[in-house]
A and B are shown apart, each in its own frame.
Chain A
Amino acid sequence: MNEFLVLNNITMDFQVRRQLFGSLNVRAVDSVSLKLKQNETIGIVGESGSGKTTLGRLALRLLKPTGGNILFHGQNITRASEASLKSFRRQAQGIFQDPFASIDSFMNIYQILEEPLLIHRIGNQDMRRKLVSQALEEVKLTPVDDFLPKYTHTLSGGQRQRLAIGRALILRPDFILADEPVSMIDASSRAEILFLFKELQERRKISFIYITHDIATAHYFCQRIAVMYLGRIVELGPALTLIRKPLHPYTRALIAAVPSPNPSNRLQERLIIPGESPSPINAPIGCRFHPRCPDIIPNKCNVEQPQTITIRKGHLTACHLYS
């Protein structure tokens, strides 16, 4: 079995207080199944409110799902206690969106990178120093000796994010969840971070879940892409096929919204779907996308929830247009 992370029919409900008494269930992730293979990168693409970040937090078991189960290396970790998750915590690491918030600014770079080693009681001081230097080299924060005593306020956004990657790598994980890792970084350095991920994946055989709102970067970095809308996966397929032959109208809308640097763009309006993604608190019935869908089938899409069907090998969608 090379499927080493399996999310099986995962559902996540949050309770939202509405009035003084009584609360409301909000389903952020609704019956999502996803299998991540060894050495694979899956991109999860969607707008804010699509549940992509919640799904990521579930995959790292930072949240306990309210339904379904999570298997890691064949082991069920759905309800495992923190104590029994210690080896999982070492193997699975997260990199988050904001490198200004995810790094303690009162620690210098050496302390930041050494901390995970101390927590997991790895090596003696010499060994730890060596591992820290190695990690810095791996993320190209060199010369290493210059960086070690620095505090993070002296680093640029791109350098900080590389430090966060170094911190994730130092425990030699085999799974990394990267949640919008480049969205706060200048466009000119984004590709550098993505190159680094790709290189690490090839050398270290790490599997990635890459969460993003930008389907263009996912296209470059991921083997497979899952498109989420209001808590559900609406399309899943090999990255290139999904971009070239998108099935779901929402995927098509996402692709159409990506600007390309073409000077004739300014002369015409872009064809774009209307409206905004509604809050999951009042998700539409039937297909959740139907109020914005340009291809709606009356009396079907607004009534019946579409089933996920396989269109071609490995390419699935949940849309009535194909049933």
Chain B
Amino acid sequence: MSIIRVNDLYLHYGTPGGIVPAVGGVSFTIDGRETLGIVGESGAGKSSLALALMRTLPRNVVTFTGTVELDGTDCLKLSEEEYRKKIRWQKIAMVFQGAMDSLNPVIKVGKQVAEPLLLKPEIKSKQAHATTLELLKMVMLPPEIFHRYPHELSGGMKQRVMIAMALILKPKLLILDEPTSALDVIIQAQIMNLLKRFKRDLKLSILFITHDLALASDLCDKIAVMYAGEIIEMGTAEELLINPKHPYSQKLLGSIPRLAEDARPEFIPGAPPKMTELPPGCYFRLRCHHAYNRCLDEHPPNHKLPSGQLVKCWLYGDKR
């Protein structure tokens, strides 16, 4: 059973430099207890996609279409009021990138975590306190943290607090946007272990956003690779990490420095295209070694491979 079904999502920003199609026709589903990883370089549209699901978008949005179905209701059709009351934080919650620095410095941590509960008239403050303590324990923080201020915590502890905050209303879908990018490697591995435990014990569905394919392998059952606002390949972790099909996914995998092997990491020459001036044809063709004349003027559609992988590339499907 899918928890969330996103279909043909478009999100365009209007900027002085022109229209930026940050998300260009993205579709995916996430099943119960499943984690989907969204991997891509900066500017690929990963965070915009997450903001669109949370409906916390900046003001310069000019196009926002598609459907986001959650338990059978289309979240984009709800009024802002309904969305806020029924969906945001209750059903979809998010840990924003770099959010650990946006904890309120003058309010004790416990109160900040408990706040969404305290706003509910049916929940007594004693009960809220107990729930919060339980949650702090789950993210492996000692109960004293409840009475601490954010400046007394380390980066890793603050990130645990952010995760606790996102989970307080027991959402079905948790969106994590680069949750470990500012942390040391050992702390990063600790947080990943914690998330693995949540995935198993709380039966959470997770949308995990990262630029690091290796880190995605630590949590994700399915992986979607984004490039210039589109999902260019999507498949199971096994398919994506062992046998990637799109030339971009292959290069992304090759760029990871490995400890176990001597293989030199590769890099992808050039930079992603300017989003205000997307070229005709395939957006990746200027950096692709396999590009041929068809890639130049025809934008590739999604090909579904026999294995189930989706790939947006003219090397597959009917060749001409």
Contacts and interface: CB of A to CB of B under 8 A. Distances in A.
B186 A189 contact: no
B117 to A, nearest CB: 28
Contacts of B111: none
Contacts of A217: 257
Contacts of A262: 217, 241
Interface in A177-232: 186-192, 194-195, 213-217, 219-220
B186 A257 contact: yes
Given A219-B257, A220-B257, A259-B217, A254 B186 contact: yes
B217 A186 contact: no
B123 to A, nearest CB: 33
Interface stretch (A74-82, A122-130, A268-276): A268-276
Contacts of B190: 272, 274
Nearest to B264: A220
Given A188-B267, A188-B268, A269 B258 contact: no
Contacts of B188: 257
Given A188-B251, A191-B267, A192-B267, A270 B218 contact: yes
B265 interface: yes
B189 interface: yes
B11 to A, nearest CB: 21
B220 A47 contact: no
Contact of B214 (A48, A194, A260): A260
Contact of B218 (A47, A186, A191, A266): A266
B128 interface: no
Contacts of B220: 266
B41 interface: yes
Contact of A191 (B193, B211, B219, B266): B266
Given A186-B211, A187-B211, A259-B214, A214 B267 contact: no
B217 A266 contact: yes
Nearest to A268: B196
Contacts of A261: 213-214, 216-217, 241, 253, 256
B258 to A, nearest CB: 6
A265 to B, nearest CB: 5
A272 B187 CA distance: 9
A302 interface: no
Contacts of B252: 187-188
A297 to B, nearest CB: 22
A270 B186 CA distance: 10
A243 B253 contact: no
A98 B86 CA distance: 41
Interface in B118-155: 154-155
A263 B304 CA distance: 21
A260 B184 contact: no
B259 interface: yes
Given A190-B267, A258-B185, A216 B237 contact: no
Interface of B: 35, 41-42, 154-157, 184-190, 192-193, 196-197, 211-221, 236-238, 240-242, 251-253, 255-260, 264-269, 271
Given A188-B255, A258-B214, A261-B241, 11 more contacts: A191-B266, A219-B259, A220-B265, A243-B259, A257-B189, A259-B218, A260-B256, A261-B214, A262-B217, A263-B217, A270-B218
Interface of A: 47-48, 156-159, 186-192, 194-195, 213-217, 219-220, 243, 253-263, 265-266, 269-270, 272-274, 276-277
20 contacts: A47-B186, A159-B271, A188-B251, A188-B252, A189-B271, A215-B259, A254-B185, A257-B185, A261-B241, A263-B238, A263-B241, A266-B35, A266-B217, A266-B218, A269-B196, A270-B192, A270-B218, A272-B190, A272-B193, A276-B157
